[in-house]
Chain A
Amino acid sequence: MRKPIAIFCTCLAGAVIPAWAGGQALEQGRTIATTGVEGAAACTSCHGANGAGNAAAGFPRLAGLGAGYLAKQLDDMAAGVRPSAVMQPTAKALTPAQRRDVAAYYASLPSPYPEAAAPKADQATPSNRGEWLAIRGDWLNGVPACNQCHGPNGVGVGDAFPALLGQSKAYLAAQLQAWQQGRRSPLPLGLMPAVASRLTAADIDAVSTYYSGLAQSAAEQPDQGGKP
């Protein structure tokens, strides 16, 4: 009768260990986020206690973004592919494993903005350039609608398409300009350099204004998600 017990124990271990290991990574990520490591200040000191970011300072929202996306940004900032005077030393101070842990931690946090019913593709107003770009794009110039990849209201999709909702105007505009100027990785698939290169300065202003405005109206809703 020992065999079934051994099998049971093996199954139990197989079921429990990955979850425990995942939990450990999240716990380590949380520690890095809240206390920092040598050479890297706590993420929360700039990105907020719940990872919602700081719009006034242009520090981006991290909560609920894809783990793969966040880890890649840290790698890119450490390597200087995504130049950032503030973030490069911080990212460099983290080991690759720590970057993954802290990325997994922020990916696990709830979005600070509820995923509300979004305007559909037929509800954009042509005269509102930012809304039009977000919902309909500018296909005559080869620009798909932002929401076609980033989801309705730019809530973010999966691991690779980060939320635009909840990012500040300054941050969004700076990223689009960085892609135009080759200061952000073209990965994946060169999607964002292709899109950004077809936007005018006025387009960037309009679409960044649109998404940052959505965040403001979402934050004013009474049933907000992970706000402290």
Chain B
Amino acid sequence: MNHSPRMSISFGARMARCAMLGGLLLALAQACLAADKAAPTFEPPAETDIPDDEFGKVVRQGMRIFVNTPAEAGAFIGNNLNCASCHLDAGRRPKSAPLWAAYVLYPAYRSKNGHVNTLAERLQGCFKYSMNGKAPDAQDPIMVALQTYMYWLARGAPTGVKLAGQGYPKLPEPPRPADYVRGQAVYAQNCALCHGENGGGQKTAKGQWVFPALWGPDSFNWGAGMHQISNAASFIKHNMPLGQDGLLSDQEAWDVAYYMNAHERPQDPRFNGNVEQTRDKYHAKDSLYGHTVNGKVLGAESVPAGGKLRAKSP
């Protein structure tokens, strides 16, 4: 047994130490409680950690679909966006709706369709709305690969816990209501360089897409989450322009999100033939669908949902 000098300290000194230790423990407990309130952080595994086996092959396939979507899942994609257009860094980036944070929150009740959604159903919604396409069957290899990639990214994350950086964190309400005219100015100054003056995106000289279309027939449709002004405002604030996130104030992000979503885009796949009814049923808040902007009712002149897939079908 080691005899340390500590064993010979007086009772008083011992009491003092105990008090100090108690205080320290209390402070530690308080810190833990505070940390509990804040969402825990999580870092997904590095790409180099994808195992070289049959499972790893499917992880890689999911990643491939995610970053190169029209080429890898063309049968289900109606526009020219990639999953990674809105989930940056191959679905890894915090505050860009990262996959690892989404994975641990499903199944979940969604007010969007009024029932508990499995992760597969949630992904099917991405295909239908954000990709302006059609949903693969739940057992389709594309669905299996995407979920495998998500599962692998979330390896070691706590289940059912909102992690720091999950989704598009809600931006505080803007000091002034979001405004089209101010948004137009923000767009011209900060966004048009890449996404084009008419929001149509940009391609290379030979027609390879580089900057995604933000509205118009090549963009996501009226059912996509990004058409909601609060989602778009948060994505823009935290991620745009690329490498210059934080350049825009909260107000500017709200204004330009409003401007972006005050333009026509492909029809909501849930459209029942009546814009007003579709608006009241699915677009009661956070959406300009069915509202009159610049003398036109948004949704009234939408091209049908489905994009490229419609042109292909007879």
Q: Tell whether, in the assembled complex, residue A156 and residue B204 are in contact, meaning their CB atoms are under 8 Å apart.
A: yes
In the complex, which residues of chain A have a beta carbon less than 8 angstroms from the beta carbon of B203? 157
User: In the complex, A152 Cα to B245 Cα: how many Å?
Assistant: 23
Residue of B nearest to A190 (CB): B244
Tell me whether B208 is interfacial, beta carbon within 8 Å.
yes
| A126-B46 contact given A136-B89, A157-B202, A157-B204, CB 8 Å threshold | yes
Q: Tell whether, in the assembled complex, residue A115 and residue B206 are in contact, meaning their CB atoms are under 8 Å apart.
A: yes
User: In the complex, A188 Cα to B193 Cα: how many Å?
Assistant: 8
Tell me whether B99 is interfacial, beta carbon within 8 Å.
no
In the complex, which residues of chain B have a beta carbon less than 8 angstroms from the beta carbon of A36? none
Least Cβ distance of A131 to chain B in Å? Answer: 12
Binary flags per residue of B193-215, CB closer than 8 Å to A gives 1, else 0 = 11000000011111010110000
Max chain A C-beta neighbours (<10 A), residue from B68, B82, B194: B194
Complex interface: stretch among B17-25, B59-67, B264-272: B59-67
| A191-B64 contact given A115-B206, A126-B48, A157-B204, CB 8 Å threshold | no
Complex interface: stretch among A8-16, A45-53, A139-147: A139-147
| A149-B244 contact given A115-B204, A136-B89, A160-B193, CB 8 Å threshold | no
Tell me whether A148 is interfacial, beta carbon within 8 Å.
yes
Tell me whether B47 is interfacial, beta carbon within 8 Å.
yes
Q: Tell whether, in the assembled complex, residue A149 and residue B210 are in contact, meaning their CB atoms are under 8 Å apart.
A: yes
User: In the complex, A151 Cα to B92 Cα: how many Å?
Assistant: 21
In the complex, which residues of chain A have a beta carbon less than 8 angstroms from the beta carbon of B82? 121
Binary flags per residue of B225-259, CB closer than 8 Å to A gives 1, else 0 = 00000000000000001111101000000000000
**Residues of chain B in range 39-85 having any CB-CB distance to chain A below 8 Å:** 46-48, 60, 63-64, 67-68, 71, 82, 84
Mostly, the A contact residues are loop
Name B208's contact: one of A127, A149, A151 (CB within 8 Å).
Answer: A151
Tell me whether A96 is interfacial, beta carbon within 8 Å.
no
| A115-B48 contact given A120-B68, A194-B244, CB 8 Å threshold | no
Least Cβ distance of A79 to chain B in Å? Answer: 21
Q: Tell whether, in the assembled complex, residue A139 and residue B88 are in contact, meaning their CB atoms are under 8 Å apart.
A: yes
Tell me whether A189 is interfacial, beta carbon within 8 Å.
yes
Name A158's contact: one of B64, B202, B241 (CB within 8 Å).
Answer: B202
In the complex, which residues of chain A have a beta carbon less than 8 angstroms from the beta carbon of B67? 120-122
Query: Interface size of B by Cβ–Cβ distance < 8 Å?
Result: 33
Least Cβ distance of B226 to chain A in Å? Answer: 18
Name B47's contact: one of A64, A118, A126, A149 (CB within 8 Å).
Answer: A126
User: In the complex, A137 Cα to B47 Cα: how many Å?
Assistant: 13
Residue of A nearest to B92 (CB): A139
Tell me whether B117 is interfacial, beta carbon within 8 Å.
no
In the complex, which residues of chain B have a beta carbon less than 8 angstroms from the beta carbon of A157? 202-204, 210-211
In the complex, which residues of chain A have a beta carbon less than 8 angstroms from the beta carbon of B89? 136-137, 139
Residue of A nearest to B96 (CB): A139
Tell me whether B190 is interfacial, beta carbon within 8 Å.
yes
In the complex, which residues of chain A have a beta carbon less than 8 angstroms from the beta carbon of B308? none
Q: Tell whether, in the assembled complex, residue A121 and residue B90 are in contact, meaning their CB atoms are under 8 Å apart.
A: yes
Tell me whether A155 is interfacial, beta carbon within 8 Å.
yes
In the complex, which residues of chain A have a beta carbon less than 8 angstroms from the beta carbon of B68? 120-122
Name B60's contact: one of A121, A122, A136, A189 (CB within 8 Å).
Answer: A122
User: In the complex, A43 Cα to B33 Cα: how many Å?
Assistant: 68
User: In the complex, A191 Cα to B243 Cα: how many Å?
Assistant: 7
**Residues of chain A in range 147-190 having any CB-CB distance to chain B below 8 Å:** 148-149, 151-152, 155-158, 160, 188-190
Sample 13 A-B pairs with CB under 8 A, ordered by A number: A121-B82, A126-B48, A139-B92, A139-B93, A142-B245, A156-B205, A157-B203, A157-B204, A188-B193, A189-B193, A189-B247, A190-B247, A191-B243
CB within 8 Å of B: which residues of A?
Answer: 64, 111, 115, 118, 120-122, 126-127, 136-137, 139, 142-144, 148-149, 151-152, 155-158, 160, 188-191, 194-195
The 6 tightest CB contacts between A and B, nearest first, are A121-B67, A139-B89, A122-B64, A144-B242, A115-B206, A120-B68
